[in-house]
Structure 1
């Protein structure tokens, strides 16, 4: 089996004078290239995997700032969603404003085990004082690792940059705080010339202080590639496998943080799990810089599919959170967004509606009513036909078994006639639920009576 491990070889920092920008892969004037080395790496899903959250850090910096009250309420929702399963393990906070510090303090005082409150700082000692003053046990530290950042943003050499990072990590360890090293822009970094020597030094500090030093693998521009046989620095498989085999980083200390610039954020995140990272960093609804981070709700469903269990998570809270963001945050969730969009389990096609009328399992991804509190819905338009209208009645009013309305019911034909007239007269929009309710109330009063009876 091929491997990225080069046994008995100690990787040394390559303190080059000119930056390695991988212009053959990232020409800038063209779309980035995918290159392959054909190395097949072993899949190795850790026994324990989990999710972390950056809604209050990466998510917040890409929206109007959240109020302290909103942060606290969302934190409560995250705790309710996790329901002490330990699947949503941590969330991270900014500490730069009085508002953020107040929100973090209140959340810590909640006393929840999950998600644990952590913080995020730049890698300097002034920022570190904020963490120490708050009494937070773990903090993320920004550690840009590509030459784009080292040479062009920091204006330092690789050696100077590494010394700066190691110094701030040691400062954290000296103060009893767990450091989480955010290796920014790793998918454009020199893996063997900078990343591996840096991480090896971080692992030595971990041994010296007998404290975990976590590694967050940051795909800052969404350039990661999940494909088997892809080359570094873009290979997600290669990055995770390399950190474990070349640096000896335990799976429990490796966290993937992705962005969605190339539509690959979920597949890259799942790949990181499959090749040895225990932790995936996410944000609610995928809200984050530019195209966003990995959606927390997406990785919950990836977790359940991989592990075959949701433990004791309260999945209906996903729907509550989506409603909260729309109502309180005025955030527009695209209507076809999986799991949280208003139309994610709505069908318009007549043939699909006919299938749902027979058995909703035919065209629904799972029992969305039971799991998310979102019953399957059939929208009525000019293509719905008798089956579509009957399916709308049955799903909208949650009619079961003998209470279901058959598409051959003559009252369904009356409703279809009214719908058809709307489109003959030039209508272009779907028929609203409120309009259909009036028809049902007029033609099928027993449906309304039965619903009211169940409610009482």
Structure 2
């Protein structure tokens, strides 16, 4: 247990009202202190689609949960980049799904759990053979005083008791420091984490610290004050609390459009692990998208090892088709129009070389060829580019914008909009027009 000299056991909660004036937009305070970048030698991704992600939508069926787990395994392809995924164990359905997934025998992602902090649930984790479990440790005064109705010392003692229970069962505790971006870092977080590291050394069990940016308030700017600074939080856990990189994890939400940037910053400043969900599903604005962090990983490390990245496209299609999830059309990597251009000048560039206006070879990497949408602004280049991409024409088989048949199709397109059309011309319509003006092309492709 911790004494009052270790925990700053205040009577009045520190709510940082100079930073979080509830009636105004939160403030970013700078102290200009620079902490060193400290990218761990090994970094990886963890997944919480079936835990945190599932809380934001209709519960998944047992079949859907096992299928999602299969997809995670196929995407990772034994690279170990997607290291873990976590399951609820509250209901029989969740437990059955976890059992079925464990029976598959996959090395990656490893199955972990989320439980209520009581002895019966610890027994359940042990009986199922799950080696690690998450447990909630709310760490801001907003939560300690307003939600739990405890003092800081009472909260810390309660958390430590739960951890000690886990250790007696030989289970790795993953301590979820909820709302860390509004917490008194040196008054509460540091002394509690130091005590956890003592318990870790005594037991020989690697207690993990998950820094949870519960409201997405973290910021990645250099020289930012605590409690909002992602850099300072991760540096502080490693430097002041001596938490090894491999035991530090960042869990971010996207309320301020910063989930990806903050997660990448956490990697760069000392966290080995980043927690994510497929498609970024999750509470309110969602969690950090797993697919985004795969591309962040690839850019930082220069490789994605042997991952099957094209499985991302299959996953997106599965969520739309089987789960009924509406993916924003322009969502990076997974939206149906993420690599579709409508601008005529961009289409002209794509016609000359895809590399001019496409982020990478999306056809090769994601099984998503670059596309050009046709409307009143597409011009000759746009129509030619649509034909080449839709019919997958390569090299000398490509159709140029100076082809007289392209001019005929453009006349038809122009007439549509002169007659009052306001919608984009769809693929099915364009197929029929191409078949009319270029029958030999359609026949050859068929």
State TM-score, norm by structure 1.
0.96
Aligned residues: 443
Q: How far apart are residue 447 of structure 1 and its match? A: 2.1
SS at match of 1:122: coil
Q: Does 1:292 align with 2:280?
A: no
How many angstroms apart in 2 are the aligned matches of 1:444 and 1:218? Answer: 57
How many angstroms apart in 1 are the aligned matches of 2:122 and 2:149? Answer: 22
The equivalent of 2:379 in structure 1 is: 385
The equivalent of 1:189 in structure 2 is: 183
The equivalent of 1:347 in structure 2 is: 341
1:278-335 CA-partner distances (Å, limit 9, x unpaired): 0000000000000000000000000000000010000110000000000001010000
| Alignment equivalent of 1:263, drawn from 257, 261, 282 | 257
The equivalent of 1:122 in structure 2 is: 116
* Contact in 2 for aligned 1:123/1:143 (Cα 8 Å): no
Q: How far apart are residue 121 of structure 1 and its match? A: 2.0
Q: Does 1:133 align with 2:137?
A: no
The equivalent of 1:401 in structure 2 is: 395
How many angstroms apart in 2 are the aligned matches of 1:372 and 1:423? Answer: 34
Q: How far apart are residue 445 of structure 1 and its match? A: 2.3
* Contact in 1 for aligned 2:45/2:84 (Cα 8 Å): yes
The equivalent of 1:366 in structure 2 is: 360
Structure 2: gaps of 5 or more residues: none
SS at match of 2:389: helix
How many angstroms apart in 1 are the aligned matches of 2:99 and 2:269? Answer: 36
1:107-156 CA-partner distances (Å, limit 9, x unpaired): 01110000000001233334333322322110010110011111111111
SS at match of 1:366: coil
Show the 5 A alignment for 1:12-411.
12-411=6-405
Q: How far apart are residue 19 of structure 1 and its match? A: 1.1
The equivalent of 1:4 in structure 2 is: none
Q: How far apart are residue 219 of structure 1 and its match? A: 0.2
Structure 1: gaps of 5 or more residues: 1-10
How many angstroms apart in 1 are the aligned matches of 2:421 and 2:93? Answer: 50
How many angstroms apart in 2 are the aligned matches of 1:94 and 1:446? Answer: 57
Q: How far apart are residue 440 of structure 1 and its match? A: 1.5
Q: How far apart are residue 24 of structure 1 and its match? A: 1.0
How many angstroms apart in 2 are the aligned matches of 1:83 and 1:278? Answer: 20
How many angstroms apart in 2 are the aligned matches of 1:26 and 1:360? Answer: 46
How many angstroms apart in 2 are the aligned matches of 1:75 and 1:404? Answer: 41
Relative to 1, partners in 2 of residues 1:282 and 1:151: Cα closer, same or farther, differing over 3 Å? same
SS at match of 2:137: strand
SS at match of 2:51: helix
Q: How far apart are residue 441 of structure 1 and its match? A: 1.5
Q: How far apart are residue 23 of structure 1 and its match? A: 1.0
SS at match of 2:264: helix
The equivalent of 1:8 in structure 2 is: none
Q: How far apart are residue 446 of structure 1 and its match? A: 2.7
* Contact in 2 for aligned 1:241/1:275 (Cα 8 Å): yes
SS at match of 2:205: coil
How many angstroms apart in 2 are the aligned matches of 1:420 and 1:275? Answer: 54
SS at match of 1:92: strand
Runs of 4+ in 1 over 4 A off after TM superposition: none
The equivalent of 1:6 in structure 2 is: none
Q: Does 1:415 align with 2:424?
A: no
How many angstroms apart in 2 are the aligned matches of 1:388 and 1:21? Answer: 55
1:143-170 CA-partner distances (Å, limit 9, x unpaired): 1001111111111111111111111111
Relative to 1, partners in 2 of residues 1:124 and 1:145: Cα closer, same or farther, differing over 3 Å? farther
How many angstroms apart in 2 are the aligned matches of 1:280 and 1:212? Answer: 17
Q: How far apart are residue 21 of structure 1 and its match? A: 0.9
State TM-score, norm by structure 2.
0.98
